[in-house]
């Protein structure tokens, strides 16, 4: 079971960044179930931030659920469109490129 311990992460990062970054660490460790739990915790603690959406996309991709990952990346784009003052153009381009990459992978 995943239990987020902020003391295990960089003290210069805020709690949101620490929890968000823990998802990447868990994926790299092959702890997909724990990464899913961490994403749920991100959504619970920070529902108004986009981190839970793109980290969930990363977990879904790591778990082979490419179609659902694409759906979450599309949600990121919608989030950016709804909050244009919080993001630069490169942010949206990144998620569009992730969608293109995953969709091309699905077509193979």
Confidence of residue 107 (pLDDT cuts 50, 70, 90): confident
**Domain layout of the chain by residue ranges:** 13-107
Of 57-61, 70-74, 85-89, where does mean pLDDT reach its minimum? 85-89
CATH number for the domain whose boundaries are 13-107: 1.25.40.10
Structural contact between residues 23 and 42, judged by C-beta atoms closer than 8 angstroms: yes
Cα distances from 83 to residues 32, 78, 91, in angstroms, run 30, 9, 12
DSSP run (H or E) holding 78 = helix 66-82
Q: 79-82 — which CB contacts under 8 Å span 24+ positions?
A: 79/50, 79/53, 80/50
Residues in the chain: 108
Q: What is the pTM of this model?
A: 0.86
Alpha-carbon torsion (16, 19, 23, 28), positive or negative: positive
If one compares 55 and 10, the residue with the highest pLDDT of the two is 55
């Amino acid at each position: 079971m995943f239990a987020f311990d902020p003391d295990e992460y960089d003290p210069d990062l805020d709690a949101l960044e620490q929890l968000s970054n823990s998802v990447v660490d868990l994926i790299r460790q092959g702890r997909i179930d724990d990464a899913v739990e961490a994403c749920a915790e991100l959504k619970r603690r920070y529902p108004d931030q986009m981190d839970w959406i793109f980290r969930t996309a990363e977990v879904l991709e790591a778990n082979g659920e490419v179609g659902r990952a694409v759906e979450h990346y599309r949600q990121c784009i919608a989030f950016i469109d709804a909050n244009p003052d919080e993001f630069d153009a490169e942010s949206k381009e990144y998620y569009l490129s992730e969608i293109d990459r995953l969709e091309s992978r699905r077509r193979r």
